[in-house]
Structure 1
C-alpha cells in the first residue's frame, strides 16, 4: 500500500518505468532489469527532488521575489534556509492521469493563481517507454487572460546500470556556466565560457572526487538536432537527451541519496537559476497559447 501517492507502471517488453503521482516523478526506469534512474521506496515523497517536474520555473527564485507587469510578486519561501522559492509550484502536487496505455501515461496539474504567481497555467507531462528507454514530453498552457513568462525543468538522477557513481565519467553538451553564491545558490555573474576550466565537461571526465551543484548553459545540439549529456560506467552508460530549448542543465552530486549514497542529478532546464529575475531564456506564453518540448533517457553501449 502506498502512503504518498499512487504509482503508475508502464512497460514495453524489457523496459519498465514507474511514475510517482507526487511531483509526476519517475521513480523507476529499468531496461532488461538494470536500473537507469535512482530509485527510492514507494512510500516516500521523492527525496532530493528526485524526478520531480519543475514548473513554472526550475531551480530557484532569489528571495522568492520577482516583478510582473511592474508589480512585485512574493512567492512562498520553500527553501527557507537559503531564503528562496525553489523548484516551481508542482513539486509536491498530486498529478492526475489524463490518459494511459500499457507503454504511456499522461499526467496533468493546474498551477493556480496564488501569492507570487498571477496567471493560471495547466501543465501536463507524458511518459512513454520504448526499446531505447524513456521519452518525456512537457506541455504548458496559459489559462489566464495575460501573457506570462515561465520556465520548465526536471530533476532526474540517471544511473549507468549497476556502476557506482564514482566509477562513471560525465560528458555534457554545455559550453558556459554561471557562478553561484555558495550560500544562496543564486547567480552572481553572467554565463561565462567553461573552456579550459574545471567545469569543462565537453569531453568525458571521471566523477570521482568532483563536487558539483552547478548551472551549466549554452548546451549545443548535435547533428541530430538534440542536446546530449552522457553518464558512462565500465559496462555502458545512460544518456539524457533533450530538445534544444533545454539549453541549460543543473548538475548536482550529493553524497546522501537514500539507499545509494553518492548520486548525480542531471537536470534539463529551459532557463537558469533566478530566471524570473535575470530574464535569461524565459519563455512567454500568450493567453490560450500552449508550449511543448521533450527530453528523455536511454541506455547506451
Structure 2
C-alpha cells in the first residue's frame, strides 16, 4: 500500500528543550513554532495547502509583479499570472515545489531547491533555507546562489503569522520598526505612489497599536534597527496586554515588511501576518531594493522568532 503524503509533503520536526518547529517539504514553509506547548506562530493541518500563504518562502520575489511582466537587460519576461483575479504574479516560484533535505538533526533542518530557467525567469538560482531552534527561539537562514552566466536581480520574503500564545489577536498590540508606508491601488494591490514617511499617524506602528479594528494588507518600508540595538537587528513584535508574545527579528537586509490581517484564518479567525521582505511589491519593475547577483555569487540573510515576556 502506498504511503499517504500530506498536501505539504513530508514534515520535518526540530526540537531543542521546550522549543519545537515543524517545516514542510513542499514550499519549505514554517508550519509550527511553539515553546513549552505555547504557540508563537499560527498553524494549520499538514494535509491542506498553507492558508493565506502561511509560513511560505517567497523567492525570487515577494509580493506581486504587475501583469507578471518585467524585463532583464531589455529582454521582456512574462511570468505566469498566479493571482489571476488581479492580473499579477504573486509570491515567487517555489511555494508549491518540494524541497530537498540537505541536513536534518534534532534541532536543525536544511532544505534546498533550484529555480530553473523557465518562462518569465531566465537565470537559474539555487536556494536554501536552514531552520534551527535553541534556547532563544527559532532562527531561519536563507541563501540564494546565481547558477547562471549573467547577473540577475531578485528579492526574498517570508510569510509567517506570529502569535502571542493563546491571546486573541484583537487584544494584541503590533509594533513595527518601519518608518514609511507604501500607498497602493486597492484593486490591484500594487504601488501607485512613492513611499510616505510615517509621522505619528494611525499607520505609524513604531509605538504599537492594538489590533482590534485594524485591517491591513500593507507594505511598510524603512525597517531598520534602533540606533542603540546591540545586535543591529530589525525588530517587530506581537504582544498581549501583559507584554507576553513574540518578537520577529531580521537582518537589516529585510528593510520592508508586509502586514496582513485576515479575519478567516482556519481555527483562529483573526490573525496577523508580519512578512519581512528585502524589497517592496512590484520591485522587479521599479528596481527598488532588489538584490543583484553576479554569476556564481551568493546572498544570505537571517530572521527569526523569539518569545517575549
TM-score range, shorter chain: over 0.9
Whole-angstrom CA distance in 1 between matches of 2:125 and 2:134: 30
Whole-angstrom CA distance in 2 between matches of 1:116 and 1:258: 33
**1:198, CA displacement in angstroms?**
1.9
TM-score, normalised by the number of residues in structure 2: 0.96
Whole-angstrom CA distance in 2 between matches of 1:112 and 1:187: 29
In structure 2, what is the equivalent of residue 186 of structure 1? 190
In structure 1, what is the equivalent of residue 232 of structure 2? 225
What per-residue deviation string (whole Å, max 9, x for no partner) do you get for residues 62-93 of structure 1? Answer: 10000111011100000000000000000111
Map 1:18-37 → 2, pairs under 5 A: 18-37=22-41
In structure 1, what is the equivalent of residue 307 of structure 2? 299
Structure 1 window deviating more from structure 2 (283-292 vs 219-228): it is: 219-228
Q: Does 1:268 align with 2:276?
A: yes
Q: Is the 8 A contact 1:22 1:45 kept in 2?
A: no
Partner secondary structure for residue 202 of structure 2: coil
What per-residue deviation string (whole Å, max 9, x for no partner) do you get for residues 209-242 of structure 1? Answer: 0000000000121322000001001340100000
Whole-angstrom CA distance in 2 between matches of 1:105 and 1:140: 17
Alignment coverage as a number of residue pairs: 301
In structure 1, what is the equivalent of residue 169 of structure 2? 165
Structure 1 window deviating more from structure 2 (59-68 vs 232-241): it is: 232-241
In structure 1, what is the equivalent of residue 154 of structure 2? 150
Whole-angstrom CA distance in 2 between matches of 1:106 and 1:46: 20
Cα-Cα RMSD: 0.8
Gaps of 5+ in 1: none
Whole-angstrom CA distance in 1 between matches of 2:184 and 2:26: 29
TM-score, normalised by the number of residues in structure 1: 0.99
Partner secondary structure for residue 190 of structure 2: coil
Which stretches of structure 1, 4 residues or longer, exceed 3 Å deviation after superposition? none
Gaps of 5+ in 2: none
